[in-house]
Structure 1
Amino acid sequence: MVNLPWQPEYPILTARLALRPHRGSDLDDLLRYHSDPEVVRYIPWPVRTREQTEAAIESRTRQGAVTEEGQWLVLAIQLRDDVGQVDGGRVIGEVLLKFDSEADARGELGYAIARDAEGHGYATEAARAVLDLAFAGFGLHRVIARLDARNRASAALLERLGMRREALFVEDEHFKGEWTDTLVYAMLAREHRPEHIPEAG
């Protein structure tokens, strides 16, 4: 049985990161990657202007809790500073978990990271914390991730998390002007090996 609501005690802390709901003050940090064509190349967002990013933040500030099927938990990935202060660093990305199906106790994982923060394991660290929460806190049976098959960096991240490649759908989406293939990765609760167990409120 899925545990609702999904409303963890924030921030969710990892060794280097603080995961928490977005704030209006995150605008400049989000604009850095929402407006970057390379970051959004495989993500179903457009390259956003400042005004479009303001609208995106406004919706994200209400996505720190999930109460029903179909909703997304959307959390800012914030760097902790050198002495571990929670509010010491900039927001470098976001991590998402969709309550995809109540009957099947299934969630869907997503993430985005600023280009200058890539290559340091931050997205993996954030995604691992959300998987810990999904299984140990929210009671999900299965978590999937869908990605553009050309996105090799994202596939490698999912494999580092221990997720299995389950499917390749050929030219199943007309995405940003072209037909693209979709990969599906998945993990079951019994396959999950938690790094730590965040608290679920």
Structure 2
Amino acid sequence: MLNPTYPIKTPRLLLRPFTMDDLDELHSFHSRPDVVRYLPWDARTYDGTRAALETKLGQAALSAENGTFNIAVELRETGALIGDIFLFWRSPEHRQGEIGFAFHPDYHGQGLAFEASREILRLGFDDLGLHRIYGRCDARNDASARLMERLGMRREAHLVENELFKGEWGDELIYAMLQREWTPAA
């Protein structure tokens, strides 16, 4: 079970549960075609964002029954909601999880997704005791691939045309890290 004390503080960020007050800021990037280009949903309407947010409200703790941990990434300096980060508990038996993220483009290139993702890896390895955490991305999503490499995850696979994604066959990259490879002070 993963039920952290909130907010989780990093040097520049607060990681916290979503609230309904996040609706407008979440919609500001979930509604953008450039943000969702490589995500499994289309640009969301306001009502679609509200429905997604209502689901996120119950995902601030992780258990075998609730296999999705999804929290808000807030910029400490301004209080702006800048990202949406996930840890899926894919296999309690094999102690495997999957990381995922979506960040507002206005905050790209500043190392903020890296900072938030490092904390999610820490929670997965140190607090939940996962053996392996992996991430997947469309092979055309250079930014996500670079982020996972920067996190120290190794590229394990390049799957060729493995899924029909938004109307076209797409390649997928899989990156992973084992608990013994995790270095918290990096």
TM-score scaled by length of structure 1: 0.90
Which residue does 1:16 correspond to in 2? 12
What is the letter of the counterpart of residue 55 of structure 2? S
Q: Is the partner of 1:140 in helix, strand or coil?
A: coil
Post-superposition Cα deviations, 1:155-190, rounded to whole Å, max 9, x if no partner, equal: 000011000000011001100110000100000000
1:137 aligns with one of 118, 127, 134:
127
TM-align CA RMSD? 1.2
Q: Of residues 151, 162, 167 in structure 1, which corresponds to 2:152?
A: 162
SS at match of 2:41: coil
Q: 1:75 to 1:191 in 2, by over 3 A?
A: same
TM-score, with length taken from structure 2: 0.97
> What secondary structure does 1:139 align onto?
coil
Partner of 1:150 in structure 2?
140
Q: Take 2:98 and 2:87, find their aligned partners in 1: how far apart are those partners?
A: 5
Instruction: List gaps (5 residues or longer) in structure 2.
Output: none
* Structure 2 residue 64 is matched with structure 1 residue 74: no
1:96 correspondence with 2:92: no
2:69 matches 1:48: no
Distance 1:192 1:167 in 2: 20
Greater RCO, 1 or 2 (C-alpha within 8 Å, sep 6+): 1
1:80-116 alpha-carbon deviations (Å, 9 max, x no partner): 02xxxxxx51111111000000111000000000011
C-alpha separation between the residues in 2 aligned to 1:35 and 1:115?
12
Q: 1:193 is matched with which residue?
A: 183
| Local SS of the residue matching 2:47 | helix
For 1:89 and 1:70, locate their aligned partners in 2 and report how far apart those are by CA, in whole Å: 28
- Please identify runs of 4+ aligned residues in structure 1 that moved more than 4 A: none
Unpaired stretches in structure 1, ≥5 consecutive residues: 82-87, 197-201
Contact 2:153 2:176 in 1 (8 A): yes
Q: Write the distance in 2 (CA, Å) between the matches of 1:114 and 1:32.
A: 8
Query: CA offset at residue 69 of structure 1?
Result: 5.8
Q: How many residues align?
A: 186
Give yes or no for contact 1:173–1:181 (8 Å, CA) kept in 2.
Answer: yes
Identical positions, percent: 50
